């Protein structure tokens, strides 16, 4: 998670670090350490969650969001990409994440998916822009440029710098969550994300302003896992993602061009997907 104080001089600080020291500050760890790995032969695939970035604390110690346990229970090996603040720039960390994806594919995982919160969402998309080995991306409240209240001058970059990342995703399917009351969200990102991914003919689902989930940290809650954990799992598991793909309740609907009938009061999150 990005806290309200944002360091713009991070790149200058990082320039003084040696390459070896920078790499030592990035590492992959089990997301659910109490459960043994299934391994490449048995797991459906591997999922790497990337945390946010704070200025006054190390997010590498932040709890893994509960929905990752849903993915582990569904047959995926789950990891988290930990990063020390001193080495955590968008460029450096995205390169490190791509290297971890490559390593997992070399180990034999058939699929590698990336999930990311806030700054980690930006990193996950950047990795999908750089590597054909990323099969799916799930981003929650993506942000890397500060909040409205503290950094109004750069805050809009959480939209304007985000859209080009969607435009450069190589082939991965994309799921994006945006939440009401997110101080890092300039607004309108759901509709623009849909438009970009539709034009790109990429499979996708956008969940925009879902009820009952608010603030920048909504995806870190047990309620998010309960409402959407199974849908995220279904999205990653799906053999296809077609027109009209969506989360319906806690179930993933792969889409057929027609969405199933729902009561008028039921909120929905729709995606329009083309050929993968």
The domain that contains 232 carries what CATH number? 3.40.50.1820
Between CA 57 and CA 88 the distance in angstroms is: 13
| Cβ atoms of 113 and 175 closer than 8 Å | no
Number of domains the chain is built from: 1
Between CA 192 and CA 167 the distance in angstroms is: 11
Q: Are strands 136-140 and 173-178 parallel, antiparallel or unpaired?
A: parallel
Between CA 189 and CA 125 the distance in angstroms is: 15
Asked if residue 4 belongs to a domain, the reply is: no
| Cβ atoms of 194 and 204 closer than 8 Å | yes
Return the minimum-mean-pLDDT range out of 36-50, 68-82, 158-172, 242-256: 242-256
Asked if residue 269 belongs to a domain, the reply is: no
Asked if residue 180 belongs to a domain, the reply is: yes
Q: Are strands 173-178 and 26-30 parallel, antiparallel or unpaired?
A: unpaired
pLDDT value of residue 65: 98
Q: Which domain holds residue 185?
A: 10-258
Between CA 240 and CA 26 the distance in angstroms is: 33
Asked if residue 270 belongs to a domain, the reply is: no
Beta-carbon-side half-sphere exposure of residue 160 (alpha carbons within 13 Å): 6
Asked if residue 242 belongs to a domain, the reply is: yes
Q: Is 212 left (phi over 0), alpha (psi -120 to 50) or beta?
A: left
Question: Highest mean pLDDT: which of 144-153, 212-221, 257-266?
Answer: 212-221
| pLDDT tens figures, 190-238 | 999 999 999 999 999 999 999 999 999 999 999 999 999 999 999 999 9
* Nearest Cα residue to 166 out of 269, 47, 258, 271: 271
Between CA 176 and CA 166 the distance in angstroms is: 10
Asked if residue 96 belongs to a domain, the reply is: yes
* Chain-centroid distance, C-alpha 11: 23
pLDDT value of residue 257: 56
Give the mean pLDDT of 17-31: 72
Give the mean pLDDT of 110-116: 98
| Cβ atoms of 243 and 143 closer than 8 Å | no
Between CA 82 and CA 51 the distance in angstroms is: 7
Asked if residue 99 belongs to a domain, the reply is: yes
End-to-end CA, the chain: 31
Asked if residue 79 belongs to a domain, the reply is: yes
| Cβ atoms of 235 and 252 closer than 8 Å | yes
Average pLDDT of the chain to the nearest whole number: 87
């Amino acid at each position: 998670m990005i806290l309200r104080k944002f360091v713009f001089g991070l790149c200058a600080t990082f320039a003084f670090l040696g390459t070896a020291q920078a790499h030592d500050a990035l590492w992959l760890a089990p997301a659910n350490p109490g459960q043994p790995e299934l391994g490449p032969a048995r797991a459906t695939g591997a999922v790497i969650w990337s945390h946010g970035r704070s200025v006054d604390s190390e997010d590498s110690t932040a709890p893994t969001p509960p929905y990752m346990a849903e993915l582990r229970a569904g047959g995926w090996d789950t990891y988290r990409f930990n990063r020390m603040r001193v080495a955590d720039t968008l460029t450096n960390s995205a390169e490190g994440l791509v290297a971890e994806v490559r390593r997992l594919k070399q180990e034999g995982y058939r699929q590698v998916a990336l999930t990311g919160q806030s700054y980690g969402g930006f990193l996950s998309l950047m990795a999908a822009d750089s590597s054909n080995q990323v099969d799916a991306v799930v981003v929650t409240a993506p942000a890397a440029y500060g909040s409205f209240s503290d950094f109004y001058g750069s805050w809009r970059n959480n939209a304007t710098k985000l859209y080009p990342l969607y435009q450069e995703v190589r082939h991965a399917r994309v799921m994006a969550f945006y939440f009401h009351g997110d101080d890092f969200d300039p607004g309108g990102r759901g509709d623009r994300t849909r438009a970009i991914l539709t034009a790109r003919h990429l499979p996708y689902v956008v969940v925009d302003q879902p009820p009952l989930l608010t603030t920048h940290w909504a995806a870190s809650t047990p309620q998010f896992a309960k409402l959407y954990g199974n849908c995220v799992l279904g999205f990653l598991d799906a053999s296809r993602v077609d027109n009209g793909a969506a989360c319906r309740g806690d179930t993933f609907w792969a889409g057929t061009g027609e969405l199933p009938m729902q009561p008028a009061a039921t909120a929905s999150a729709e995606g329009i997907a083309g050929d993968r």
